[in-house]
Structure 1
Amino acid sequence: MPICGGRAVVDSTVYLGSGNAAFYAADTTRGELRWRYRTKSDGEEWTNPPVVADGVVYASVNNPRPSAAADGPGRAYAFDADSGERLWTYGTTYSASPVTLTGGAIHFSDIFGSLHTLDPRTGKSWGDARLADDTDPNRTVSGDRAYFNGGDGRLHAGRISLTRG
């Protein structure tokens, strides 16, 4: 199993994505697989690290070579941390960055400059914001601020204001 990037460890479980389209939860004390989720396409790669909060694992996947069998080039997922049951999926047109959870929302960006904000319970979009034109903003979210590459070689910062209607 080729491991991609970081992992999240909570209590006695490690959560990690692989380069072979599978996401794993394994018991750290016994070394046993707790659950595995596999995407539809072998070419997909999980972006890491995942985020684990309130019994839910949030992760995203990229598909550099989407096909009719795949769901698209990028998706964010939520799984029940104990059972591995998929709670929701949110698809994007472009590759997805690793997810963050801050300000009561899930955030991830895509390679063409948009920041996506999702309801962590349902996976429904709370809106998108353009951070850069046709470039990966390589964003970091902390609190109510997003720090990102605006495509002009400079670091940008902006406040994230969420209004739920």
Structure 2
Amino acid sequence: MLRLMLLLCYTLNLLGCTSVADQKQSYDSYTITPGIGIENLSLGDSIEHATSNFSKDFVMKDGYLLLPTKGIDASYNNEGKIAAIFLYYRLPKYKSFEGITDKGIGKNSSIQDVYKAYGTPTREGDSVVSEFGAMPGAHEHTITYRHSGIEFTFWDKQLADIRVINSR
């Protein structure tokens, strides 16, 4: 009986417990590097580089490169260089981005997970998404780590997007 109980506990432990490090292995796509970007799409890249090395499917519109099929947008500046990268997990009409940060933060991470991985933020903000926003009425909580070059946006306590920004 004792052996059966130990075997059951061991099996449940293997099946039910995953650490942040283990979550990294469940994603087979992109690693987000704060202040830099993702593979083949980095801050400072030219529009031409992004469209030739990351995806030819980007659509240019109003200062942005849009790629809803991968859950990605990128803003660009007047010089045609990537200024910020937006990685969406819960944006309507966009496929969920498949990737996590180099510290294991991804789609199912909580606000507390972000604090644990990144520490005290540079800035935090709370608001309600307007009727014209993507999730009207949702409580929006933004956590910014300007010194690292990353920002997290939560809607109703669920990670909505990660933004790669220039570090300062």
- TM-score, length basis structure 2: 0.25
Considering fraction of residues, name the structure with more helix.
2
Considering fraction of residues, name the structure with more strand.
1
Instruction: Please tell me whether Structure 1 or Structure 2 has the larger radius of gyration of its CA atoms.
Output: 2
- TM-score, length basis structure 1: 0.25
Could you say which structure has the greater relative contact order, defined with CA pairs below 8 angstroms and 6 or more residues apart?
2
